[in-house]
Chain A
Amino acid sequence: MVAAISACKLRRTYGDIVAVDSVDLEVEAGEVYGFLGPNGAGKSTVVRMLCTLASMTAGSASVAGYDVDSEGDQVRLNIGVALQDAALDGKLTGRETLTLQGRYYGLSRGSISTRIQQVAPLLDMSAIDRRVSTYSGGMKRRLDLAAALMHNPEVLFLDEPTTGLDPISRSMVWEQLKSLNKDLGMTIFLTTQYLEEADALTDRVGILNEGRLAAEGAPEDLKRNVGADVVVARVVNDPARAADAVSQLAGVSNVEVYGNEISAATTDGALIISPVAVALANAEIEVIELSIRPTTLDDVFLELTGARIEVEK
């Protein structure tokens, strides 16, 4: 079976800056694959290369079975893309935007009309004949997504599709993406800096850090590798000594310090929280808060890179 997206040793440099370095990817048809990483990790650059918008410095890639470098026309015919900033013409109406998008892909007038009806759940249809310049940020993002879907692409690329959206719009987009994947079998490649988004939508994630793929796998598998639970202690003083005290305990692993917070992975949080409290008390560490929570992808990222994914608010 031909992979929907395949990349081998993908590399992109801008002068001396290495934006993407030796990234290998294999995304099966019908899969939802998430690229997770902080700002500047290289996520958007990978998407731009796969969408034929940016050239590769080295490596090779294919999308929908076509080589990105030599069969760009075929790649473009089979992909839909919504980039990070909704690229819309404010002087067009929503309907004109979708109609033109349909024409760019060779759809007939009747097909365009049908497709507008089909993508309607994404849109505020009462505003479809208004100029895009009057739309809110959320409406623009949803129109951008609808435009990317006009021609029923085989592979859908979404670069941070819900950044800047209000919770209701975000949830609406999530539902539509789930439906597209489940009902149409559409392959979706999305980048995100929202951990819950990657958790909720993706079959597999690739964690990108400083242009390199740090880890890849199903979110549950990646989290399981870190531990089932995470014990978090916020301390007043000396977090390094607190981490040292906790790391002496049996049953904890991956003790990390982040600001005045220490976190420790464990297979059973309920069982380990009392020994953690005692160890901190014995070490004369003043604790503000001690809690247990399930492992998140942020913990995976922390373990892999020593940093957290900080989302721009």
Chain B
Amino acid sequence: MSAAAITEVGEPTSPHIVIRARPSGFFGDMASVSNRALRLLPRDLETILPALLIPLFFLVVTIGAIQNLASDAVPGFDYKAFQLPVALMTAVTGMSRANSLALDIANGYFDRLLMTPINRYALLLGLMVADFVLFLVLATPVIILGFAIGVSFGATGVLGLLVFVLFGAFWGLAYTGFPYAIALRTGNPGAVNSSILLFFPFMFLTTAWVSREVMTDWLAVITWFNPMTYALEAMRSLFLNWDGWALSRGILAVSIVGLLAQTLALRSLNGRVRRG
């Protein structure tokens, strides 16, 4: 049958140029996947709102409870600045499209994607692009509240603020590997929610409330092994000055978590794609 003779549904008698599929390329595929994820973000407000509100609530309450105590113990100590990185990390840690990925697997939409020519890695990386955008959105109210209560990036300025936000976003991105790995291995949204169990040791066995010097010994030892400690210290350093050593350790900590989590996620993706 010649192409000219081909007509299509709805126009059975009018010949025209036939529209055919063609590969979009890796970045085109990634854009398509992230486009869908971003489009769905405002329709998933029930999952985003807690990440938007809980960090703000804890920021206000923790500062209200401890600010005076901290100032009395160490005169001039700005506990508000000390807490702002914790609020940002609370907002971004564990937030991802992993839950909707698990839903896609459960309801068969992921199979639909697997039967298209989309690059397999773009299926995951496209979601992470959307996550990165979400992290920037989640950072906005935290920063606004921080400014409202008087936190400033005095020595590092706007660039310091940018690095601060990027630190949070990249930490969030690094961490997403864990929930994505669970989503891809189980295809179960309930199991993805259980990745919150990882959140607690990361978030609380660290210098979230007080510095290592005033902790009990056992907790201080644990904080040495928690990469979140170095990420928080790097972010806190930005309120004072450019501290290359603190920033380097923070970047290394985020990279190690990212490498571990994303390796797990990619291995799970390969397993899911091979399965069937």
**B4 CB within 8 Å of chain A:** no
Q: How many residues of B contact A (CB 8 A)?
A: 38
**B44 proximity list for chain A (CB < 8 A):** 91
Chain B: minimal CB distance from A69 (Å): 12
Contact B21–A121 (Cβ < 8 Å): no
Contact B109–A183 (Cβ < 8 Å): no
CA–CA, A180 and B108, complex, Å: 25
CA–CA, A180 and B11, complex, Å: 10
Contact A104–B32 (Cβ < 8 Å): yes
Contact B111–A83 (Cβ < 8 Å): yes
**B23 CB within 8 Å of chain A:** yes
Contact A55–B104 (Cβ < 8 Å): no
Query: Among A104, A105, A118, which residue has the most Cβ atoms of chain B within 10 A?
Result: A104
Chain A contact-residue range equals: 35 or more
Query: Among A85, A87, A117, A149, which residue has the most Cβ atoms of chain B within 10 A?
Result: A87
Contact A79–B9 (Cβ < 8 Å): no
Which residues of B from 85 to 116 have beta carbons under 8 Å from A?
Answer: 104, 107-109, 111-116
Given A87-B108, A88-B109, check contact A104 B117 (CB 8 Å). Answer: yes
CA–CA, A151 and B116, complex, Å: 10
Q: Tell me the dominant secondary structure on chain A's binding face.
A: helix
Which residues of B from 1 to 50 have beta carbons under 8 Å from A?
Answer: 1, 6-12, 18-24, 28-29, 32, 35-36, 39-40, 43-44
Contact B23–A180 (Cβ < 8 Å): no
CA–CA, A111 and B43, complex, Å: 27
Chain B: minimal CB distance from A209 (Å): 23
**A267 CB within 8 Å of chain B:** no
Contact A83–B108 (Cβ < 8 Å): yes
**A79 proximity list for chain B (CB < 8 A):** 115
Task: Name A184's contact: one of B8, B32, B107 (CB within 8 Å).
Answer: B8
**A96 CB within 8 Å of chain B:** yes
- The residue in chain A whose Cβ has the minimal distance to the Cβ of B12 is A183
**B276 CB within 8 Å of chain A:** yes
